[in-house]
Amino acid sequence: MIDSYNNLFHVVGAGRSVYSRILSLRRLVWFQGDDTMVQMFGFKIDIYMNTAYQVLLMIFNIFLILEETNPLDVVLNSLAFIFIARIDEEIAQSGWFDPDRRFLTAGAMSTAMQSTIQLRVLSSPELFSQKFNIPKDNLMKYCDKDANLFHNEKVARADASNLELMTDDEQINMLCMKVAHETRNTNALQEYKKAPKYFGSIETMLGYIGLSYSKPIFEK
């Protein structure tokens, strides 16, 4: 019971552990409505596996203990239920599942960016006007009446290559990259053009063969 209470305390985001603090940040993204469908499904499954799932297992375990007459079977059944309740935690802590905590680091960074950037607000003129107290007419005037507002991939790609929006170092790198493209200098391209970064061998393979399902972690 003490372990179950302590686990629930961490799951709701009230603990001091890194896991609990990430879940607290994750709940903030949930309430902001900035989740993707996959994130919403994963978040609910994680909450369920650490709360209701364990409670149901313990209830079922108590039922079997009351029905069982052989002491050895009681002990073995209890150990089996404890193993089943903690199997997901054991897999997550294993060395092969997430070497060097790459997935955890990427997920934490993505969650922090989602909670700060708030893409849903940036893509809605109404929500942006309410949040920052800017008249909608003035906002649409300066955004060229773009209904997507600041969540526009086409505009973002154009701005990414606009020298007027870059620092001096960024301008030099951009000009060098253009020259490398024109002269087909492979070594220079590797230096000035950022290579896509994938997490996992499967995503890397899908990304290199051009499938849209897999996108580099910092280009989503």
Does the pLDDT value for residue 49 go beyond 80? Answer: no
3-state secondary structure (DSSP) of residue 212: coil
Residue 186: band (very low, low, confident or very high) from pLDDT cuts 50, 70, 90: confident
53-96 pLDDT tens trace? 777 877 887 887 787 778 777 777 777 777 777 776 677 677 77
Neighbour-count burial of 162, counting CB atoms closer than 10 A to its CB (0-12 exposed, 13-18 middle, 19+ buried): exposed
Q: Would the CA dihedral through 185, 190, 194, 197 be positive or negative?
A: positive
Q: What percent of the chain has pLDDT over 90?
A: 0
Q: What is the mean pLDDT of the chain?
A: 77
Return the closest-CA partner of residue 87 out of 131, 66, 57, 107.
Answer: 57
Q: Which residue has the higher pLDDT, 11 or 131?
A: 131
Q: Which residue has the higher pLDDT, 188 or 198?
A: 188
Residue 192: band (very low, low, confident or very high) from pLDDT cuts 50, 70, 90: confident
Neighbouring residues of 155: CB distance < 8 A, sequence distance ≥ 6: 146
Neighbours of 58 (CB within 10 A): 16
Does the pLDDT value for residue 16 go beyond 80? Answer: no
142-152 pLDDT tens trace? 787 887 777 77
Does the pLDDT value for residue 130 go beyond 80? Answer: yes
DSSP H helices, the chain, are 2-11, 18-32, 37-49, 52-67, 71-93, 102-117, 119-122, 125-132, 136-142, 153-160, 168-183, 186-192, 201-208
The first and second tokens of residue 181, run together, are: 């493209």
Residue 200: band (very low, low, confident or very high) from pLDDT cuts 50, 70, 90: low
pLDDT at 14: 64
Residue range 163-187: mean pLDDT, rounded: 86
Return the closest-CA partner of residue 139 out of 154, 152, 151, 124.
Answer: 124
pLDDT at 29: 83
Q: Which residue has the higher pLDDT, 115 or 103?
A: 115
Every domain of the chain and the residues it spans:
2-115, 118-151, 161-220
Residue 43: CA count within 13 A, CB half-sphere: 22
Residue range 192-202: mean pLDDT, rounded: 70
